[in-house]
Structure 1
Amino acid sequence: MNALYRSAALAALLAAASPAAMAQTVSNDRVYLDADELIQDQQQGLYIARGDVRLQSGERVLFAQELIYNPALNRVVASGGVQIFDGSEPAQFAEEVELSDDLREGVARGFATLLENNGRAAAGAALRRPDGSVELSNAYYTACELCESGEDEPTWRLRASRVVRDTQNKVIYYRNVRLEVLGRPILYSPVFAHADPSAARQSGFLFPVLNSSNRLGFSYQQPYLWAIGPSQELIVSPRYMGKVNPLLQLDWSRRFYSGEMNVQTSFTYEQEFDQDGKFGDEELRGHVFADGLFRFNQNFRWGFGVEAVSGDLYLRRYGFEESPDRADGLFEIRDQRMLLNQVFFIGDGEHFHGDATVIHFNKLQENVDDDTLPLISPLIRFGAELPMPRWAGDLDFSFNTANLQRNAGDDYTRASLALDWTRPTILPGGLRAEAFALARADAYAFNETDASGNEIDSTNLTRSLGAAGLDLSLPFVRPGESVNWLIAPRMAAIIASSDNADSTPVNVDSLSIEFQQSQLFDAARANGYDLWEDGARLDVGLTVAADWRGALPGELEVFAGRSFRLDGDQRFPASSGLADDDSDWIGQIELDLGQFDLDARARIDSESQEINRLDLTAGFDAWRVSMNTRYTRRTDAASTRQLEEVTASAGFAITEDWSVVYDGVIDLEENEIRRQRAGLQYRDECTSLRILWERDNIDVANLGPSDSVKLEIVLFTLGGLSDD
C-alpha cells in the first residue's frame, strides 16, 4: 500500500479501529501502524495517529507523537520527537518530518543524526532523497559529545551552509565550510569533503605532518591515500624541509587470500649533511623496509623481511626509526642500529614446531665492516613431542643447525640433535620431584681465513653430551584471615658429561650470558649450543610470597637463589655471574599495591657482596599523577662496558582533558641526559592534541645532538596531523 495499508485499506482499518492502541502485521508491501489514538478526518481527507506513534515499512521505522497521512498527496507528516531508523543505518532525529508514503524521501526540520564511529550531524533543515543521500542546510558535523543544555560548545565541529551525505559513494561534501574550535572559527574553505564515517577507507588527502628541528628545519609532509582496491592501498607522502631538498615517502600494503605484504620506502636527491651544513655530491638516497607473511595451509607459513638503506646515517638524518617494527619477522635484534634481511618458513602442528631462516645483517656504523658480519644460510630449528606412556613422562626431540658464511672472516657450521626427558611426580608430604635428562650430539665444521680472505685452516669435530638431574620443591601454604603465605624452597642437583679440549668448538653463539632467575635450574644454562657446562652442580632457591586484604590490599613475592659448582671446568665469561664455583646471588622482589608497583632484580657478588647488576622498576598511578621509572646498573669489573642509567616517564593531569608529559633517559655513568621529551597534551572523546619538544643528545658519527618540536592533532573520524 502507498502508506497505511494503501489508503483504501487504511480507511477500512481506521473505520474498524477503536480509539485504543491498534496494530496490524504486514507483508513487505504493507505498513505497520501502532498508536494510542487513530482518527479519520473525512472532511479534509486525512488520517491522524496520536500518542506514541510507531510506523514501520520494511526495515524503516518511524517514532513520533503525531502522524498525519494525506492519501491524495501520498505524504506523511510526523511531529513531536521524531525518530527514524532504517535497517543498520544510524538513527535520525527531527522536530518535524514530511515523508513520502514509503518513508524513502522527505524533508525534516530541526534535524540531527548519529553516524558510524560516533559521528554526529545536525541541521536546521534536511532533505532525504530516494537514493538514501541526505542534504543538510545550515548544518554542522562533529565527533564530540554535545551538551544537552546547548550552553557549552563542542571541542571542534565543521559548520557549513550546505552538507550532502552521499551514501552510495560514502563521502560527505561541504559548501562554505569552516572549522570551529570551542565555537570559534579558525579555518575556512569554499568546498571540502571527507570520507563518510561508515566508509572503510576512501582515496584522498590525509592530515599533514608538521615539525621543526635544528637538523632539517621546518618540515611539512602531506600524505595522500590512494585506495587502489578493497585489499590494496598506497600512501604517497611528499615532505618539504627547510634546510634540505624534498623527500618522497611511499607506504604500500596489500592483503592476499593467504597473507599480507607491507612496504615503506623513501628517496631524495641530496648531499650528505650535519649540523654545520652540507658536503659531498648530490646523490639519490633512500631506504626500503618491507615485510610479508603468507600461509601455505593451516600448519605452514612463510615470510620475509627486507631492510636496506643507502647510507649508515640516512635513517637518523631524516628521522626514520633505526630499529623498525619487525612484527611479521621471525627474528629481532636488540641492537637498534642493526638491520637484518630474512626469509623464513614456519611449520606448526599439535605436537611439533619448526622453522628455517636465511638472515643477512647490516650494521649502521661506519667503523664496522659489513663483510665481517655473517650470512646465516640457513638456521633450522625443529622440535617435536614424542609419544610416551603417561607414566613414563615427556620426551622431546629437537634438531638445530646453523651455517654462518662471511666474506671477510671465519666460516662456521653446526648441527645438533637432542632428546630431552622430564618426569614430574608428587611425593607424600607435597614434595614435588622432577627427574630430567638431556642427551645431545653436535657436529661442527670451521674454516679459518686470513685478513685477505684466504682459507688457512679447517676443522671438523663431533661430540656427544649428556646431563641428568633431580629438581625438588616443597611449597608450604598458610591461609590466614587477612594474609595468605607461601614459602617454596627449591633445589636441583645436576651432573653433566664433559667434552675434552679436542672436542670443544669455538664459542660463536654463547658469547653474551647474564645469569638470572630463569636460568638457575636449567640443565643447559648457555643461551646457545657452543658453550657446554660440564661436571656436577647444585642449584638452590627460595620463594616467599604473601597476599593480603584490608585498607591497602596487595601482593608481595621475594626470590633468592644461587648455584654451586661441585665439579667441572669454568666455561662462562667472567662477567656472567657464573664464572666462579660459587655463583653470584640472584634475587627478585615484586610488590603490587594497586596504585604502586615495584620490581627489583639484582645479581650480587658471592664474595664481596657488591651488587654487580641491579634493575629497579617502579610505577605509580593515583590522583592526577602517573609515573614509571627504571634504574639499571651494571658495575661488574669484568664487564666490557659499565652501565648506570635511569629511564623515567611521568604525566600530570592538569584537568580532566589537559595534561603535561615527560620522559627521558639519563646516563649516570657519563652524567648526561641522553634523550628527553616533554610536552602538553589534550584528549577528550573526539580530539587528541600533543605539542612535544624532543632532544636526542647522542653523537653518532658526524651527527651531533638534535632538537625538534612536533605538533600532533587527531580529530576523531576525520583523521589526524601526526608523525606516527
Structure 2
Amino acid sequence: MMPLTLAALLLLPTPFSVSFAQETPSTELDLSKEALLSAEEVTYFNTEQRVEATGNVEIVQGERILKADKVIYNITADTVRAEGNVVLMDPTGNVLFADNMELENELKTGAIRNFKLLFTDNSRLAAHDAVREDENRTVMTKAVFTSCEPCREDPNRAPIWQIKSEKVVHDRTEKTITYRNAFLEFFGVPIMYTPYFSHPDPTVDRESGFLAPTVFDSSTLGYGIKIPYYYVISDDKDITITPTFTTKEGVQMAAEYRQAVESGDFQVDGSLTYVEEVDNNNIETGEEAFQGHIRGDGQFRIDDGWVWGFDVFRTTNDTYLEKYDISDLDTLTSTLYLQGQRGRNFSLLSAYSFQGLTEDDVSGETPIVPAWWNYSFVGEPNSFGGRFSADADVLAIYRTDGQDTDRFSLEGGYHVPYTTSNGQVITFDTSLRGDLYYAHDILANPDDPSSATDQNDFYGRLVPSASVEWRYPFVRQAGSIRQMVEPIVEAVWSDVVGDKDTPNEDSLSFEFDDTNLFGSNRYAGLDEVETGARVNYGINMGVYGASGGYTTLLFGQSYNFSDNTGFANGTGLEDQFSDYVARLEIRPADYLQFVNRVRLDHDSLYLARNEVTMKLGTFDHWFNLGYVYLRDDPNGLTQDKREEVFIEGKTKVADFWSVYGSYRRNLVDGGNSIDGTLGFEYLDECFGFALEAKRSFTRDRDVEPETRVSVKFRLLPFN
C-alpha cells in the first residue's frame, strides 16, 4: 500500500441527499483541500489526463472517508468514478454502500448504481439507482425505506414494515423527499398504497403531517378515532389539531398551540364539541349546546430578576373533562402572576380564579382572588449569626354570593442559630405579626357560606410568637455505615392580641403529620393561629450507606399546656397530649423507595392515619403502591373514615413486549372499585403497538361507569 497526499485529487463527490430522517453523506469534491490517498497502486496517465487508484483504495479528507476497489479521476472530463464495494462514510456517521458511482459536470450531476444507505439511527434506504439531475434535485428508482433492523436469523427476510416506491425525488430547495406509487408493506405483504407520499428532508427539524391515530371503543362515546395533525407555522410556533370522531357524541375538535418568544414560551390547548344536553340522570333534555375546555401556561422573563406568567384551566361543564378523558381534577385553578427576586428580597403578585367541578360546588360561593401580594426579606447575618426578616401579605377575596374579605399582614422576625462546642444545636426564633381585615357581607354562620348578611366590619389583631429549639445529633461511623440519632425538643409560645374571630379564608383545611410536628403554627395560611404554650418533642434517626442508600425514622408528639387547644376533633391535636406521628423512609438503592407515614392515637395507639407509598423496580420492570387510611377525615365533605389503595406497574415480558396496568379501590364499607387500566405494548426500533383497556366504576351525574378500549400504532421515525 502506497500512501501519498494529493491536492484536490479524488475527493468525495458532490453533495447528495437521499435520507428520510438523517442528513445524508456529503459527497462534495473540494478542489481547494487536500486528501490522503492510499491504494495498492496509483497510476497517472499523462496523455489522457487521468488518474487511477486500484486495490483497497481509501481516500480520507477530514472526517469523510471513501473506500472502493478502484477510483478513476478524469481531469479533462471532470468526472470521478468509484467502482467495486464502494463505501462512503461522512462526518455525521451515515454510511453509503454502492457498486459504483460517477459524477460529472463540475460534479453537479451523475449517478450511483445499486446503493444502500445506513443512517446513524439505523434507518435504511436502498435503491436500484439514483440520478442527480442538478445540484438541487436527485431522482431514485425502485427505492425501499425502513427503520427496522434485519432479522438476525434470516437477514433476507422482509422487515416488519417498509415503504417501496417506483420513484423517489429529493428536492433540496423545497427540502422534501417525495415518493410516487408507494406501498406500505408489513412482513413483505402490501397493506396500503398511495400514489403520492412526502416527508421532510434531513435538514428540516420539524415538518407538518399526520401523527399516529388512536382508535377506541367507549361505552360513553361509542366507537371513535383520533387523528392528530401537526402543523409547523414557523420556526418558533406550531399547532396540533386533533379531530375526534365518535358514534355517540359526534365530532370533537381539539387543538394545542405552542410558541417560543424571545423572553419565554407558552402553550395553550382547548377543545370544543356540539352535543345533546343531558341532565344529571343522563336523560336528554332535547336541547343542544357547545361544550369544551381551555388550558394553558406560560412564563416570560422581564429581566434577570423578574418574570411573569399564567396558568389557566376552565371548562364549560362539570363532567366534560372526565367524559373525554382530559382530566380527573375536582377543582380547576387559573392564575396570573408577577414574580421577582433581588438578592434577599422576594416578591410575588398573583391573581386566582377557581372552578369547582363536584356536585356540591356552588359557583357563587367559589372565591375569586383578584390580587394577592407576598413579600419576603431576609437580612444578612450579624456578628452573632442572627438575622432579621420581614414579610408582608396583602390579600383580596371576592365572591358573587357570599362574604368578601380583604387582609393586610405585616410581620417582623429575628432568628438566631447557635451551636455549642459539643455539637448541640440551639435555635431561637421570635416574631410579631399584625393583621388587619375588612369583611363585607359577613357570614351569620362561619360554617355556612350561604349565610351572608349585609353587615361589614374591620378586624385587627397582633400575633406575637417565640420559640426555642434544641437538637443534639449523635453520629457514629461503623465501617461504611454512618449512624445518626438526634433528639429534638422545641418550646413554642404564641398568642392573639385583639380580635379573636377574624375571617378564615386560607386555613380551612388542616392535617397533623410529620411535616408540621415542629413549628410555631401548624395551620396552613395566616388566618388561623395556634395559641398558647406547647412543647414539641421527638427523635430523628438514620442509617446512611456509602453508596447513597439510607433508612430514616422520625417519631414525635406535642404537648399543649392548655386544656383547650383550639383544634377540632379528629385532627390529632384536640387533647393536651397530641397523637404520635412518625415517618419511616427506606431507600437502600435507586430501585427501591418505601415511605410509611402514620399517626397513632395517643391513648389507644390505634392508627388514626396510615399512608404508604412504595416504588420498586427498574426502567423495564417497576411497581408502585399507594395506600391511605384516615380514621376521621376532618377535611372531607362527610368527615367519615377514608381508606383507599392504588397500585400500578409495568413489566417487560419479552423482547419489545410489555404489560402495564393500574387499579384504585375504595376499602370503606366493604369496598368498591374506582378505576383500573390494563395495557399491552410492543415497541422496537421501528414499530410500536399498544392495546389499552380502561374501566371507570363510579358515576358522576351524567357520566356513568365506562369501559374504554383503545388501539394505537406507531411507525418510527414517522411518529
TM-score computed with the length of structure 1 as normaliser: 0.87
Counterpart-to-counterpart distance in 1, 2:497 and 2:563: 10
Q: Look up the match of 1:29.
A: 32
- Structure 1 equivalent of residue 541 of structure 2: 544
**What residue is the counterpart of 2:247 in the other structure?**
242
SS of structure 2 residue aligned to 1:518: helix
2-structure distance, mates of 1:482, 1:56: 53
- Residue aligning to 1:709: 709
C-alpha separation in 1, matches of 2:122 and 2:136:
20
Q: Which amino acid aligns with 2:644?
A: E
The 1:351–1:624 alpha-carbon spacing in structure 2 relative to 1, beyond 3 Å, is closer
Matches of 2:564 and 2:202 in 1, distance apart? 68
| Residues 1:602 and 2:606 are matched in the alignment | no
Confirm whether residue 74 of structure 1 aligns to residue 78 of structure 2: yes
Matches within 5 A, 1:385-464: 385-449=378-442, 455-464=453-462
Q: Which residue of 1 aligns with 2:567?
A: 572
Q: What letter is aligned with 1:436?
A: D
Residues 448-483 of structure 1 show CA distances to partners (whole Å, capped at 9, x for unaligned) of 357999753222122222222222222222222364
Post-superposition offset of 1:589: 1.4
1:359 to 348, 352, 365: 352
Greater alpha carbon shift after TM alignment, 602-611 vs 184-193: 184-193
Q: Gaps (5+ residues) in structure 1?
A: 1-18, 323-335, 720-724
Of stretches 115-124 and 399-408 in structure 1, the one that deviates more from structure 2 is: 115-124
Q: 1:222 aligns with which of 219, 224, 227?
A: 227
**C-alpha distance 403-284 of structure 1, shift in aligned 2 (>3 A):** same
> In the TM superposition, what whole-angstrom CA distance separates every residue of 1:109-157 from its partner, at most 9, and x where no partner exists?
3423344765432223233454355433322223333457725554433
Q: Is 1:494 matched up with 2:504?
A: no
Residues 144-223 of structure 1 mapped to structure 2, 5 A cutoff: 144-147=148-151, 150-151=155-156, 153-223=158-228
Q: Deviations over 1:407-435 (max 9, x none)?
A: 11111111111223322232122212222
Structure-2 separation of matches of 1:695 and 1:50? 69
Residue equivalent to 2:524: 527
Letter in 1 for 2:222: G
Q: CA deviation at 1:91?
A: 4.4
| Compared CA separation, residues 438 and 127, structure 1 to 2 (3 A) | farther
Does structure 1 residue 319 correspond to structure 2 residue 315? no
Give the match for residue 331 of structure 2.
338
Matched AA of 1:658: W
- Secondary structure of 2:128's partner? strand
CA-CA distance at 1:496 after TM superposition: 2.0
Cα displacement string for residues 195-230 of structure 1 (whole angstroms, at most 9, x for unaligned residues): 335422222333323211011111123222332222
Selected match of 2:256 from 251, 257, 263? 251
Offset, 1:244 = 2.2
* Offset of residue 649 of structure 1: 1.0
Q: What's the Cα RMSD here?
A: 3.0
CA contact (8 A) 1:442 1:463 kept: yes
How far apart are the structure 2 equivalents of 1:341 and 1:598?
34
User: What are the superposed Cα offsets for residues 376-395 of structure 1, whole Å, 9 maximum, x if unpaired?
Assistant: 12111111222342533233
Which residue identity is paired with 1:35? Answer: S
Distance (Å, rounded) in 2 between the aligned partners of 1:345 and 1:160: 56
Within 2, Cα distance between the matches of 1:25 and 1:487?
A: 75
* Distance in 1 separating the partners of 2:452 and 2:602: 46
| 3-state SS in 1 of match to 2:575 | coil
**Counterpart in the other structure of 2:20:** none
Deviates more, 1:672-681 or 1:247-256: 247-256
Instruction: Answer whether contact 2:3 2:36 (CA < 8 A) is retained.
Output: no
Matched, 1:479 2:472: no
Q: CA deviation at 1:648?
A: 0.4
| Separation of aligned partners in 1, 2:327 and 2:515 | 31
Q: Spell out the pairing of 1:48-59 with structure 2 (5 A cutoff).
A: 48-50=52-54, 53-55=57-59
Three-state SS of the structure 2 residue aligned to 1:22 is: strand
Alignment gaps of 5+ in structure 2 = 9-29, 444-448
| Distance of aligned partners of 1:655 and 1:452 in 2 relative to their CA distance in 1, 3 Å threshold | closer
Against the structure 1 CA distance between its residues 233 and 239, is the aligned structure 2 distance closer, same or farther, given a 3 Å change threshold? same
The equivalent of 2:691 in structure 1 is 691
Helix, strand or coil for the counterpart of 2:322? helix
| 1:302 is aligned to 2:308 | yes
Q: State whether residues 691 and 712 of structure 1, in contact with CA within 8 Å, keep that contact through their aligned partners in structure 2.
A: yes
Counterpart selection for 1:127 from 119, 124, 131: 131
**Are 1:653 and 2:652 an aligned pair?**
yes
CA contact (8 A) 1:263 1:288 kept: yes
Partner of residue 15, structure 2: none
User: How far apart are the structure 1 equivalents of 2:292 and 2:634?
Assistant: 41
Residue in 2 that maps onto 1:585: 580
In structure 2, C-alpha distance between the alignment counterparts of 1:417 and 1:28, rounded to whole Å: 76
SS in 2 for 1:371: helix
Instruction: Evaluate the alpha carbon distance shift between residue 687 and residue 384 of structure 1 in structure 2; reply closer, same or farther with a 3 A threshold.
Output: farther
Number of matched residues?
685
Structure 2 counterpart of 1:84:
88
1:264 corresponding residue in structure 2:
269
Deviation at 1:68, TM superposition (A): 1.4
Change (3 A) 1:579 1:305: same
Tell me which residue corresponds to 1:676.
Answer: 676
User: Once the 2 structures are TM-superposed, how far is the Cα of residue 338 of structure 1 from its aligned partner?
Assistant: 1.5
Decide whether aligned partners of structure 1 residues 174 and 478 sit closer, same or farther in structure 2, where only a CA change above 3 A counts. Answer: same
Q: Which amino acid aligns with 2:647?
A: A
Q: Distance in 2 between matches of 1:470 and 1:25?
A: 82
Residues 564 and 575, structure 2, Cα contact 8 Å, conserved in 1 = no
Per-residue CA distance 1:221-248 (angstroms, 9 max, x = gap): 3222332222222333222211122222
- Corresponding position of 1:10: none
Q: State the secondary structure of the residue aligned to 1:32.
A: strand
Alignment match, 2:666: 667
Q: Percentage identity across aligned positions?
A: 26
Q: Is the 8 A contact 2:176 2:199 kept in 1?
A: yes
After superposition, the C-alpha distances for 1:646-688 in whole angstroms (9 at most, x for unaligned) are: 1101223220211211111111115111000001111223333
The code of the aligned residue for 2:293 comes to: H
Post-superposition offset of 1:44 = 6.4
Letter paired with 1:633: Y
* 8 Å contact from structure 1 (residues 534, 568) kept in 2: no
Conservation of the 8 A alpha-carbon contact between 1:28 and 1:57: no
Cα offsets for 1:2-33 (capped at 9, x unmatched):
xxxxxxxxxxxxxxxxx731114568635534
The 1:135/1:507 distance shift into structure 2, 3 A limit, reads: same
Counterpart Cα distance in 1 of 2:522 and 2:124: 60
Using a 3 Å threshold, how does the CA distance of structure 1 residues 258 and 576 change in structure 2: closer, same or farther? Answer: same
CA distance in 2, matches of 1:177, 1:547: 62
What corresponds to 1:722 in structure 2?
none
Q: Deviations over 1:166-204 (max 9, x none)?
A: 343332212222223344433222221223354222223
Which residue number corresponds to residue 629 of structure 1?
625
Name the counterpart of 1:557. Answer: 552
2:219 and 2:435 map into 1 onto residues whose CA distance is: 55
What is the aligned partner in structure 2 of residue 329 from structure 1?
Answer: none
Name the SS of the counterpart of 1:316 in structure 2.
helix
Matches of 1:549 and 1:297, distance apart in 2: 43
* Secondary structure at the counterpart of residue 3 of structure 2: coil
Residue type of the alignment partner of 2:4: M
Quote the Cα distance in structure 2 between the aligned partners of 1:431 and 1:127. 82
CA contact (8 A) 2:405 2:503 kept: no
Moved more, 198-207 or 35-44: 35-44
Give distance in 2, aligned partners of 1:279 and 1:713.
Answer: 38
Contact 2:277 2:285 in 1 (8 A): yes
